[in-house]
A and B are shown apart, each in its own frame.
Chain A
């Protein structure tokens, strides 16, 4: 049995609810740390940042599943819905901390959303994610048919906006957000390349056929 097969066999034994449980408790753990001083003297900003970063990480993991399977054969597709739903949950808690603990004042919140570009960008990403979270269930997949796949391509602009939001938060060009953006662009770039290959092979059926045959 190859290493890939062994990994996949092991992964099949992990129930998806394990991932849901860990993910659900993670923000609570961060909140506990913030409340008990483990996040320093300004726990609100720290918590907000941790949750936002967690959401972006989850988005990137979700985006990496397809390329990972195509390149290495490791199959995480079973977990993809859970990762997607958790991403939305993480970003919702990030937003909630910003609203309730950070900005606090309703009129300021509205002003920030309209007038602060990085907040506008972040809010746009959140709005794009919302229909994806709502339709992450079997019923929606059946009901929407082929348009479900089209709808869920919204994850691409979402992750781009998320990466841009992170870069814009900093006062200077900071290294970490730029690294996140590099990973995001690599993952999206891989998809563009794949799509090009596909359309090429459709236009030249013989070349495509010979590749499949080899």
Chain B
């Protein structure tokens, strides 16, 4: 019989306690290996020098419409999701198409911690210490063919475990896409954990994309399919409201969402009197990624 998890989030040991225990165990850092890493690793040059939100914030306030449209629905409902076994179908313009098991994927990549800003299109933001590997590593393993120009992604479609998929809030399965140069960029991460935990289910377990210079909905969760293609892929929010959600969806304080301004953001975790702060071009990653869009009209290609 398959292992059934009966533990609830309330059963999780508070991070502070758990860190103390880790200190007691001294060099037993190897225990945390697997999906997530301990802070033993050196800081990545791609990490921002900001204090990450506590795990409690990151796991309590989510948009993951597969589990409901409310911010706490994912935390309430995601426990229903089975993430083991898990495999990713890689197809389209690749030399080695096929179904790649998660363990097999992880054996052939280098995991590292990346502390990234995360900016939601709804104008809230967090700082998240992801653990993951560069998407590039997986794409190179599958062998991207010269004709490929885009990468399309799909989330798991399993309405019996994802109650939101039994409603028609969005067209399922959730789809996202990147241009190939965006997908191959070293900032583009396939994340498998947060802090030293395997990816919490409400955050897109076991494998999700993180593209820190784009609005959060581009960072598709619980990925089961990656397709290399020469056509701009369909993306879920763009299919719903093309005027509001463009294919690129780069964070841009100068391009308003038709229904609200994107000039400012509210960092989560500041309580009732948290100050708004200015949103940065490309979410603060302009030095790394602005050149990808040289000569492009960022209003038209929003």
Chain B residues near A118 (CB-CB < 8 A): 259
Is A35 an interface position by the 8 A CB rule?
yes
Is A186 an interface position by the 8 A CB rule?
no
Is A115 an interface position by the 8 A CB rule?
yes
Consensus secondary structure, chain A interface: helix
Chain A residues near B276 (CB-CB < 8 A): 103-105
What is the bound-complex CA distance between A45 and B167, given in angstroms?
24
The answer, among A104, A168, A172, for a CB contact under 8 Å with B259, is A168
Q: B263 to A42, Cβ gap below 8 A?
A: no
Is B33 an interface position by the 8 A CB rule?
no
Is B301 an interface position by the 8 A CB rule?
no
Is B71 an interface position by the 8 A CB rule?
yes
Q: B71 to A112, Cβ gap below 8 A?
A: no
Q: A101 to B61, Cβ gap below 8 A?
A: no
Chain B residues near A171 (CB-CB < 8 A): 69, 122
The answer, among B268, B269, B272, for a CB contact under 8 Å with A47, is B272
Chain B residues near A34 (CB-CB < 8 A): 272
Consensus secondary structure, chain B interface: loop
Q: B60 to A40, Cβ gap below 8 A?
A: yes
Chain B residues near A112 (CB-CB < 8 A): 260-261
Is A117 an interface position by the 8 A CB rule?
yes
What is the bound-complex CA distance between A166 and B75, given in angstroms?
24
Chain B residues near A116 (CB-CB < 8 A): 259-261
What is the bound-complex CA distance between A105 and B61, given in angstroms?
25
Is A25 an interface position by the 8 A CB rule?
no
Category for how many chain A residues contact B: 20 to 34
**Per-position contact with A for B122-160: 1 when CB-CB < 8 Å, else 0?**
101000000000000000000000000000000000000
The answer, among B256, B264, B271, for a CB contact under 8 Å with A105, is B264
What is the bound-complex CA distance between A102 and B264, given in angstroms?
11
Nearest CB in chain A to that of B59: its residue: A41
- Min CB–CB distance B121 → chain A (angstroms): 8
Nearest CB in chain A to that of B269: its residue: A41
Q: B69 to A174, Cβ gap below 8 A?
A: yes
Q: B169 to A174, Cβ gap below 8 A?
A: yes
What is the bound-complex CA distance between A191 and B51, given in angstroms?
57
What is the bound-complex CA distance between A115 and B257, given in angstroms?
11
Chain A residues near B256 (CB-CB < 8 A): 115
Chain A residues near B268 (CB-CB < 8 A): 41-42
Is A44 an interface position by the 8 A CB rule?
yes
Nearest CB in chain B to that of A34: its residue: B272
Name the interface residues of B56-98: CB closer than 8 Å to any CB of A.
Answer: 56-57, 60-61, 65, 69, 71-72
Seen from chain B, the residues whose Cβ lies within 8 Å of a Cβ on chain A are 56-57, 60-61, 65, 69, 71-72, 122, 124, 167, 169-170, 240, 256, 259-261, 263-264, 266, 268-269, 271-276
Known pairs A40-B71, A103-B276 / 12 extra A-B pairs, C-beta < 8 Å = A34-B272, A35-B272, A41-B61, A44-B266, A105-B276, A168-B259, A171-B69, A171-B122, A172-B169, A172-B170, A172-B240, A174-B169
